């Protein structure tokens, strides 16, 4: 299975999906023109990956900002990860947020309350 690497732009996050290591990373800003279009290959990759995931899938989410349409797509990503966990694989989600960014911390807590995977909240101190 191929890995995916998407270079970030001012409007889209940097994405790294590595089937060999089981590491999924999304970092940066997520305000794409078309969120569904942007996140579709990520959700499809996770669908494929779920048929033969690593014993441990580590997810690193470090977003500075995301818009409402991105939030729905990010939830779709988490739901795919929830399926991997339900199939008795270990999934760890690391949610990074800036020390002063209460909104981003709250967003992580909101996602954690929706899906059945515990989040590790990691504060980034400058």
Beta strands in 7-44 (DSSP E): 14-18, 23-30
The angle formed by the CA atoms of residues 62, 79 and 21, to the nearest 5 degrees, is: 60
Report, in angstroms and rounded to the nearest whole number, the Rg of the chain calculated over CA atoms. Answer: 14
Fold of 4-16+24-124: Transcription Regulator spoIIAA (3.30.750)
pLDDT tens sequence for the chain (126 residues)? 999 999 999 999 999 999 999 999 999 999 999 999 999 999 999 999 999 999 999 999 999 999 999 999 999 999 999 999 999 999 999 999 999 999 999 999 999 999 999 999 999 997
Q: What's CA 109's distance to the chain center, in Å?
A: 14
- For residue 126, what pLDDT is reported? 79
- For residue 79, what pLDDT is reported? 97
Write down the pTM of the prediction: 0.95
Report the distance separating Cα 89 and Cα 71, nearest Å: 25
Report the distance separating Cα 19 and Cα 53, nearest Å: 7
- For residue 22, what pLDDT is reported? 98
CA atoms within 13 A on the CB side of 11: 8
Domain ranges of the chain: 4-16+24-124
Report the distance separating Cα 18 and Cα 24, nearest Å: 6
């Amino acid at each position: 299975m191929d890995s995916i690497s998407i270079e970030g732009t001012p409007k889209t996050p940097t994405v790294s999906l590595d089937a060999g290591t089981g590491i999924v990373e999304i970092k940066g800003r997520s305000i794409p023109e078309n969120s569904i279009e942007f996140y579709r290959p990520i959700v499809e990759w996770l669908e494929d990956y779920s048929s033969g995931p690593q014993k441990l899938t580590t997810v690193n989410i470090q977003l500075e900002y995301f818009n409402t349409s991105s939030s729905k797509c990010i939830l779709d990503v988490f739901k795919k990860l929830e399926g991997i966990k339900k199939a008795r694989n270990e999934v760890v989600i690391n949610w990074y947020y800036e020390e002063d960014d209460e909104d981003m911390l709250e967003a992580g807590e909101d996602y954690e309350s929706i899906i059945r995977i515990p989040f590790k909240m990691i504060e980034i101190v400058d």
